[in-house]
Structure 1
Amino acid sequence: MKNLILLGLTVILFTACNQEVRYTQQSPEIDTYKKAMDDYKNMNWESMPKHYADTAKIASNVIEEKALTVSQAIEKYKQDAAGFDWVVEKEEYEMVVTDKGETWVNFWGIWKGTMKSNNKVYVIPFHNTARFIDGKIVEEYGYWDNSEIVLDIQKIEAAENSVLSEENSIDN
């Protein structure tokens, strides 16, 4: 009887230890995503692609059909970075395995940037989620509200166009 109880406890312990992890805050995929985010934050554009599969698609504030390749996304990041001095703060990561067996790493952070053209500071919470296959990012989605920046850029462009129109009318 004693052996039967020990056998039962051993089976329970073994079963409990071998349960699949479906949620965690520590994994190789999270470590990879942290490195990809570090490359973004440090504007290390040459190193960034190594974390992504060759066929990866990045959809930042767009639907999947408008997703960019990694090289296209990096070119956009370079253009965006040229207009700001910025940092990313309050980073949080988690990994989940879906019911379909897909591995996703979720990221939350605060993007804080000063626009060079107007010296205004913007503080924007954002969320990224990236699906991994064989240790590489195969798709990534990013979500944030940049409407305040867009409106301010439109104001700056309108003011510049107004000045150009005045200069042209004076010259004629």
Structure 2
Amino acid sequence: MKNSIIILVLLFSIISCQKTETRYTQQSPEIDSFKKSIEAYEKADWATMKSFYADSAKIEHNVTKDKAVSVDKLIEISKEDATLFSNIDFIDSESEYEMVVTDDGETWVNFWGDWKGTLKATGEEYILPCAITAQFVNGKIVREVGFWNTAKIALDLQKLSAASTVVDSTTTR
């Protein structure tokens, strides 16, 4: 009986001392990398931003997987946005990050935050809630999926374009 108790205590001690794999965290090298990639985006530091992505990374911002773009196309789009907006920023107090390891062993960093930008043409400030998730392999982003609603901005740009067309047609007469 005494030996059984000792064996059980030893077995329990060995099992409880084994390190378990972290499947969820809010602090990791991948989260730090993702934060730095967002900071580079905010500063329009495209080379630094690109350094966090694998060359073959697929970016799915407001599109389905079959319409994913390369990191070079992401940067091209971001540069176009930077010509339309000033003060592009993610509001730090509204930003949350987490890292998860899936049952299949995939590492993903999830981000929720509010993007803020001021339209240069009107001075109007927009705040868009965003959800972005990035899959990491060997410390690099290989896939990024993001969702946010740009309808208000699109409508306002359409109104600006229509107003500009009216002005152009009246001045060319």
TM-score w.r.t. structure 1 length? Answer: 0.91
SS of residue paired to 1:46: helix
Q: Report what 2:90 is aligned to.
A: 88
% identical equivalent positions: 47
Q: Distance in 2 between matches of 1:19 and 1:130?
A: 24
Q: Report what 2:65 is aligned to.
A: 64
Deviations 1:121-166 (A, max 9, x none): 1111101100011111001011100100000000000000111122
Q: Which of 1, 6, 9 is the equivalent residue of 1:3?
A: 6
Q: Distance in 2 between matches of 1:166 and 1:34?
A: 48
Q: Distance in 1 between matches of 2:42 and 2:169?
A: 38
Question: For structure 1, which segment, 150-159 or 77-86, has the greater mean C-alpha deviation from structure 2 after superposition?
Answer: 77-86
Question: Which segments of 5 or more consecutive residues in structure 1 lack a partner in the other structure?
Answer: none
Q: Report what 2:121 is aligned to.
A: 117
**2:147 is aligned with 1:146:** no
Q: CA deviation at 1:102?
A: 1.0
Detail structure 1 runs of 4+ shifted over 6 Å in the superposition: none
Q: Distance in 2 between matches of 1:73 and 1:5?
A: 57
Q: CA deviation at 1:82?
A: 1.6
Q: Distance in 1 between matches of 2:11 and 2:64?
A: 52
Q: Distance in 2 between matches of 1:148 and 1:88?
A: 18
Question: For structure 1, which segment, 147-156 or 26-35, has the greater mean C-alpha deviation from structure 2 after superposition?
Answer: 26-35
Question: Which segments of 5 or more consecutive residues in structure 2 lack a partner in the other structure?
Answer: none
Q: Distance in 2 between matches of 1:39 and 1:123?
A: 19
Q: Distance in 2 between matches of 1:40 and 1:151?
A: 24
Q: CA deviation at 1:3?
A: 3.2
Q: CA deviation at 1:167?
A: 2.1
Q: Distance in 2 between matches of 1:25 and 1:8?
A: 32
Q: Report what 1:33 is aligned to.
A: 34
SS of residue paired to 1:114: strand
Which residue identity lines up with residue 171 of structure 2 in the other structure? E
Q: Report what 1:100 is aligned to.
A: 104
Which residue identity lines up with residue 132 of structure 2 in the other structure? N
Q: Report what 1:128 is aligned to.
A: 132
Q: Distance in 2 between matches of 1:37 and 1:87?
A: 9
Q: Report what 1:75 is aligned to.
A: 76
How many aligned residue pairs are there?
167
Q: Distance in 1 between matches of 2:122 and 2:54?
A: 38
TM-score w.r.t. structure 2 length? Answer: 0.91
Which residue identity lines up with residue 153 of structure 2 in the other structure? I
Q: CA deviation at 1:5?
A: 4.2
